[in-house]
């Protein structure tokens, strides 16, 4: 019996195929009708959802952020629309000029009824307060980004504020705090020692000084012991000489920074970086990209703050690199 090969008659086979095709068409038709019927419903629900959670324009929403000190921010919100307003729990804090996200967090947000107002209280982490309270240039500020949807369509609202009075304008003499130049005390011996004992290079592919080294002093508490080098945002930064990264982090004035130790008492510093590509303990060679140019910290535009220390004494980088 196992060796028998039984075939169905051709007529029976054709009838079976026809019945299967008729059954498939009957089953397919209701699915097609169901899909066609669902499309208008889906469009109606989408429009309703948009109207419910996201249909507020800029004329119907007013935001005013105030810094009260000690890291506490209050954002007053006026909902002048005829629908409720509900912010997402997640929010972000960014710096305007760099679009850098400083902080992101979440908290429960109240539902604001039509034509009502509410106040959002946000507590900044203690470790960020000093950074945020460092003055920014007058054309820069921070802003909170708040989103008003949990649906397919979204709106993001910006609440701007300053955590400290702005830096004076470019006309520093009229602003009343013009720095007083002091004598450059870089010794010829230090410049010769660095030039003779290290294989050095420019930290940027193009070198242009925007603010020189000169022990500039403001009321005795600000000394500029570096050179500011103009560069486009995101440009590569290279090590002045081979060495080891001994510091990497953020400072309120210098922004994202690196310090590289080159041995025999020489260190180089790189400030206001956009991104740091090396960590403490990393060895760096001349061809390595260690960071990218940015505008972090106290900076009026993208640039590299480049400094040199020999036995903890500042040295004018411009003299070592032949820029003066």
Distances (CA, A) of 105 to 6, 67, 71, 102, 131: 72, 17, 14, 11, 17
Whether residue 124 has pLDDT greater than 80:
yes
What is d(CA 285, CA 241) in angstroms, rounded to the nearest whole number?
7
| Superfamily of domain covering 179-320 | Glucose Permease (Domain IIA) (2.70.70.10)
**Residue 98's closest CA among 323, 305, 299?**
299
Where residue 171 falls among pLDDT bands split at 50, 70, 90?
very low
Percent of the chain with pLDDT over 90: 38
The pLDDT assigned to 322 comes to: 87
The pLDDT assigned to 218 comes to: 46
**Residue 86's closest CA among 61, 58, 59?**
61
What is d(CA 246, CA 282) in angstroms, rounded to the nearest whole number?
8
Q: Where in the chain is the domain with CATH 2.70.70.10?
A: 179-320
The pLDDT assigned to 40 comes to: 58
Where residue 174 falls among pLDDT bands split at 50, 70, 90?
very low
* Mean pLDDT of the 60-89 span: 89
- Whether the full predicted model's pTM is greater than 0.75, yes or no, is no
The pLDDT assigned to 131 comes to: 87
For the segment 181-222, what is each residue's pLDDT rounded down to a tens digit? 455 567 788 899 999 999 999 999 988 888 888 755 444 444
Whether residue 144 has pLDDT greater than 70:
yes
User: What SS3 class is residue 172?
Assistant: helix
Whether residue 156 has pLDDT greater than 60:
yes
- Top mean pLDDT of 9-23, 36-50, 299-313 is at 299-313
Where residue 22 falls among pLDDT bands split at 50, 70, 90?
low
For the segment 221-256, what is each residue's pLDDT rounded down to a tens digit? 446 788 999 899 999 999 999 999 999 998 767 889
Q: Where in the chain is the domain with CATH 2.60.40?
A: 60-161
The pLDDT assigned to 172 comes to: 38
User: What SS3 class is residue 284?
Assistant: strand
The pLDDT assigned to 108 comes to: 93
For tokens 């039984």, the residue is 6
Residues in the chain: 324
**Residue 275's closest CA among 303, 253, 294, 248?**
294
The pLDDT assigned to 27 comes to: 55
Q: Which residue has the higher pLDDT, 316 or 48?
A: 316
Sign of torsion over alpha carbons 29, 34, 35, 37: positive
- Strand duo 243-251 + 283-284: pairing: antiparallel
For the segment 261-302, what is each residue's pLDDT rounded down to a tens digit? 999 999 999 999 999 999 999 999 999 999 999 988 777 778
For tokens 């220390």, the residue is 309
User: What SS3 class is residue 104?
Assistant: strand
Residue 77 is inside which H or E element, if any?
Answer: strand 72-79
What is d(CA 244, CA 261) in angstroms, rounded to the nearest whole number?
5
Q: Write the CATH number of the domain with boundaries 60-161.
A: 2.60.40
- Give me the numbers of helices (H) and strands (E) for the chain, helices first please: 5, 21
């Amino acid at each position: 019996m196992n060796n028998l090969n039984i075939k169905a008659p051709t007529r029976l086979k054709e009838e079976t195929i026809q019945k299967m095709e008729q059954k498939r068409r009957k089953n397919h038709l209701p699915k097609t009708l169901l899909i066609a019927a669902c499309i208008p419903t889906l469009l109606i629900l989408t429009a309703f959802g948009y109207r419910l959670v996201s249909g507020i324009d800029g004329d119907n929403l007013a935001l005013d952020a105030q810094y009260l000190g000690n890291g506490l921010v209050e954002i007053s919100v006026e909902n002048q629309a005829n629908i409720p307003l509900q912010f997402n729990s997640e929010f972000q804090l960014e710096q305007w000029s760099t679009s850098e996200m400083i902080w992101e967090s979440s908290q429960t947000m109240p539902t604001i009824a039509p034509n009502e107002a509410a106040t959002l209280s946000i507590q900044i982490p203690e470790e960020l307060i000093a950074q945020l309270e460092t003055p920014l240039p007058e054309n820069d500020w921070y802003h909170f980004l708040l989103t008003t949807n949990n649906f397919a369509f979204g709106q993001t609202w910006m609440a701007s504020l300053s955590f400290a009075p702005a830096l004076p304008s470019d006309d520093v003499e009229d602003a009343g705090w013009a720095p007083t130049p002091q004598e450059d005390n870089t010794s010829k011996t230090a410049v010769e020692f660095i030039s003779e004992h290290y294989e050095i290079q420019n930290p940027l592919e193009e070198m242009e000084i925007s603010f020189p080294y000169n022990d500039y002093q403001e009321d005795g508490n600000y000394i500029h012991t570096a050179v500011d080098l103009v560069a486009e945002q995101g440009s590569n930064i290279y090590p002045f000489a081979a060495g080891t990264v001994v510091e990497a982090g953020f400072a309120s004035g210098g922004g994202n920074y690196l310090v590289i130790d080159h041995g025999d008492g020489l260190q180089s510093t790189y400030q206001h970086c956009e991104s740091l590509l090396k960590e403490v303990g990393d060895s760096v060679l001349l061809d390595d990209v260690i960071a990218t140019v940015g505008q972090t910290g106290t900076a009026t535009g993208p640039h590299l703050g480049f400094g040199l220390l020999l036995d903890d004494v500042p040295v004018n980088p411009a003299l070592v690199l032949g820029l003066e």
